[in-house]
Amino acid sequence: MTVGLVRRLFRRIHGEQAAVRAHEACEADATARFYDTARIVTNGHPRSCIRVGANTHVRGELLLFGHGGRITVGDYCYIGEGARLWSAIDISVGDRTLIAHNVTIMDNLTHPLSATDRHEHFKAIVSTGHPKSLDLGERAVVIEKDAWIGCHCVVLRGVTIGAGAIIAAGSVVTRSIPAGVIAAGNPARPLRPESDH
């Protein structure tokens, strides 16, 4: 019983320390909550490049590439465990948006298309960190207010997801989705209007 109590206490203290570090790594409202699974990676950019709004709960990862990026998350949002928002130019998440667990949102290609350039990019990351100069075909991602991105979705560069839209679990969003619809599939397509029950 004592060992279990010590383990629980250790996990709680470690979790609280991780949450404090995440909160301090970005510009976050005092009411934003970071869990022990949250991870903030600025790669040397000012903490103001990642902003998290009031009453937002973060369990996932917010990461900036070495050559640029900005992430803005509105008020009363949720970013689930295992979710990754990786920015090289700009990802904007509107108020009251829910991003479920294991969602991936990227505003760039993540690696060069050329095999030679891709290998050089990989070598730089593992030896000196994310390069400070790079072209990854960046295009901003906008997720408007009240959207819900279901678990295991992938949202790719240049996409806008309209206000109140729902993206069904496991979808791959390659093109913009209008406001107020339910979309699903690979590639995701609007199925029907979202309706309040």
State the DSSP code for 7.
H
Rounded to two decimals, the pTM is 0.87
Q: What is the pLDDT of residue 55?
A: 98
Output the CA angle 24-57-9, nearest 5 degrees: 75
Q: Which of 65-69, 73-77, 162-166 has the lowest average pLDDT?
A: 65-69
* 68-90 pLDDT tens trace: 999 999 999 999 999 999 999 99
Please tell me whether the peptide bond between 187 and the residue prior to it is cis, using omega within 30 degrees of 0. Answer: yes
197 pLDDT band (50/70/90 cuts)? very low
Strand partners, 50: 71
Among 54, 58, 29, smallest CA distance to 41 is for 58
SS3 state of residue 3? helix
190 pLDDT band (50/70/90 cuts)? very high
Phi and psi at residue 100, in whole multiples of 5°?
Answer: -75, 180
Extended strands (E) in the chain: 27-28, 33-34, 39-41, 50-52, 57-58, 61-64, 71-73, 78-79, 84-87, 91-93, 98-99, 104-106, 141-143, 148-149, 154-155, 160-161, 166-167, 172-173, 181-185, 188-193
Which one is predicted more confidently, 11 or 165?
A: 165
Q: What is the pLDDT of residue 2?
A: 61
- For 163-172, what is the mean pLDDT? 98
Domain coordinates in residue numbering, the chain: 2-191
Look at the domain 2-191 and name its fold: UDP N-Acetylglucosamine Acyltransferase; domain 1 (2.160.10)
Distance, CA of 115 to chain centre: 27
Which one is predicted more confidently, 5 or 99?
A: 99
Contact (Cβ atoms closer than 8 angstroms) between residue 74 and residue 145: yes
Which one is predicted more confidently, 36 or 8?
A: 36
